[in-house]
Structure 1
Amino acid sequence: MSEAPFMIVERKGPVVIATLNRPDTRNAITEIAYSEEIAEFCASMTRDLTVRAIVLTGAGSAFCAGGNVHHMAERKGMFAGAPFALRNTYRTGIQMIPTALYELEVPVVAAVNGPAVGAGLDLACMCDIRIASSRARFAESFVKLGIVPGDGGAWLLPRIIGMARASLLTLTGDMIDAATALDYGLVAEVVPPEEVLPRAIEIAEAIAANPGHATRLAKRLLREGQDMKLAPLLELSAAYQALAHHTFDHGEAVAAFLESRDPVYRDE
């Protein structure tokens, strides 16, 4: 019998809830197939214009424990092979995830229900908004295993919490609690454990209440703006705005506002 999917995907209107489903390994990302599954999920979400927001969470007690340390010790799975082969495994395996999530224009809310460690922290950083359980813990712990962030953490983390704190977490590998993560700006909110998924869904639904084309383009502007000067960003903004003005849903939003009624969007 084939292994169950790594992700459980549920639909709630325009909101999709994706759950990493390996609670026995604390949702560790250990197989290339897992990375492929996440990448394909992102591609399918991009194709489906009726999806307006995504919630990403983990089954069981952890959000994601990163790589499987037992597999590292045994040099098996994604950690097998000589240096050149291992480098290629990273490039064609787990590095598909940051690329796929970066290119995904649908807003993603991470419901960090428990520890997010190593690649698990980086996965949370790939999301647009992070809501943490008070039981969540965070660590950029690669150096404690004698390795480095291999999936984009060195690019992601400084952009979220600044170079000084990113350096502190990356070079010590130390764990921080949810309150510290909130203080650092790593997460937007900290809530009781039983509220983390409902709160993430609530935020996703608030996003999904807006026209999907607008939130997708706005997310793209935020992403591109991280590496652009003001002038080219303004040019891109003008182009996106011209597209947005000529959508059905823009017209419907304006009409609903003027008529004091709820809009009915068609994702067009």
Structure 2
Amino acid sequence: MNPFLLVERDGPVVIATLNRPEERNAISETAHSDEIAAFCAEMTRDATVRAIILTGSGKAFCAGGNVKHMREKIGMFGGSPYTIRNNYRTGIQTIPAALYELEVPVIAAINGPAIGAGLDLACMCDIRIAADTALFAESFVKLGLIPGDGGAWLLPRVIGMPRATQMTLTGETIDAAKALEYGLVTEMLAPEKLMDRARTIAASIAANPGHSTRMAKRLLREGQDMKLGPLLELSAAYQALAHHTAEHEEMIAAFVEKRAPKPF
């Protein structure tokens, strides 16, 4: 079977595409979660990767879980309550854990519906831009379920508790314009312009030293839950590391000499 995640590389930028268009890129198999988690581990090890674009093939970004599998109680939805609990913990819940620990900046290029776990997957990314045809829903309650993959932690941190509460408890679908208003996405574009814009943002990130963007992302993530004092301590430690890099010295020299920095 073809891989669930298609991976391409363009210099320091990696494009990862969810590749089950016939299933609207639903994530319902442990193998899917394993691929994404393994991809994150590989990206962490490769210091030459400076930015990642995550998108979906076909008309959807990600439709969440496979509802047919839920109805038939197969795959991760099969077995006793204990088995299903373990399926979540060792399956789809490995994705937010892996993406949270991934220090490479990730841009979600949301090409179509991002529903349920698909919306949560978008929220696991650092920057979200959307086609004007995209749709968004935290729709678990519409199936008598709850966000099982971290959505109750992720969504409020992206759009704030009041709006996250409304989306979660109603399961309502919002369009790209409303997502832009909510701050769920930072830009809304025509579908044909989406990937070009994602590549431009990725290139802007990748133009900076990888150690700087990785550590800056880590500080942003840790800062969500740390008090100011510990965050300042962590910032001082990271800054001391950054000051002793060749990239820092070259960037400073280029700034002082009013020239473009040499490639690194």
* TM-score category, normalised to shorter length: over 0.9
Equivalent residue in structure 1 for 2:110, among 109, 112, 122:
112
Contact 1:249 1:265 in 2 (8 A): no
Q: What's 1:81 paired with?
A: 79
Map of 2:172 onto structure 1: 174
Displacement over 4 Å in runs of 4+: none
Map 1:229-244 onto structure 2 (within 5 A): 229-244=227-242
Match of 1:4 in 2: 2
Q: Describe the SS at the equivalent of 1:154.
A: helix
Query: Structure 1 residue aligned with 2:187, among 186, 189, 198?
Result: 189
Q: How does 1:118-267 map to 2 (within 5 A)?
A: 118-266=116-264
- Output the CA distance in 1 between the equivalents of 2:254 and 2:44: 27
Q: CA deviation at 1:260?
A: 2.3
Q: Does 1:15 align with 2:13?
A: yes
Superposed CA offset, 1:1-47 (max 9, x none): xx100011111111000000000000000110000000000000000
TM norm structure 2? 0.99
State the one-letter code of the partner of 2:112. Answer: G
Alignment-derived partner of residue 92 in structure 1: 90
> What residue is the counterpart of 1:33 in the other structure?
31
- Measured against aligned partners, the alpha-carbon deviations of 1:197-248 in whole angstroms (never above 9, x if no partner) come to 1111110110000000000000000000000111111111101000111111
Q: In structure 2, the residue corresponding to 1:28 is in which secondary structure?
A: coil
Q: Structure 1 counterpart of 2:67, which letter?
A: V
What CA distance in whole angstroms lies between the structure 1 residues aligned with 2:258 and 2:60? Answer: 44
User: Hey, what's the Cα distance between the residues in 2 that align with 1:108 and 1:158?
Assistant: 19
TM-score (norm 1): 0.97
**Aligned amino acid, residue 76 of structure 1:** I
Q: Secondary structure at the match of 1:164?
A: helix
The answer to whether the 8 A contact 1:54-1:106 is kept is: yes
Cα deviation 1:91-139 (Å, max 9, x = unaligned): 0000000000000000000000000000000000000000000000000
Aligned-pair CA distance for 1:165: 0.2
Deviation at 1:255, TM superposition (A): 1.3
Q: Secondary structure at the match of 2:17?
A: strand
Q: Distance in 2 between matches of 1:73 and 1:196?
A: 34
Say if 1:57 and 1:110, in contact at 8 Å, map to a contact too.
yes
SS at match of 1:35: helix
Q: CA deviation at 1:265?
A: 4.3
One-letter amino acid matched to 1:248 = A
Calculate percent identity across the aligned residue pairs: 72
The number of equivalent residue pairs is 264
**1:264 CA displacement:** 2.7
- Structure 1 unaligned regions, length at least 5: none
RMSD of aligned Cα (Å)? 0.7
| Structure 2 equivalent of residue 69 of structure 1 | 67
Q: Give the secondary structure class of the aligned counterpart of 2:188.
A: strand
Deviations 1:176-207 (A, max 9, x none): 00000000010010011111111111101100
CA drift at 1:85: 0.6
- Which amino acid is the alignment partner of residue 94 of structure 1? I
User: In 2, distance between residues paired with 1:251 and 1:144?
Assistant: 55
Displacement of 1:48: 0.4
3-state SS of 1:130 partner = strand
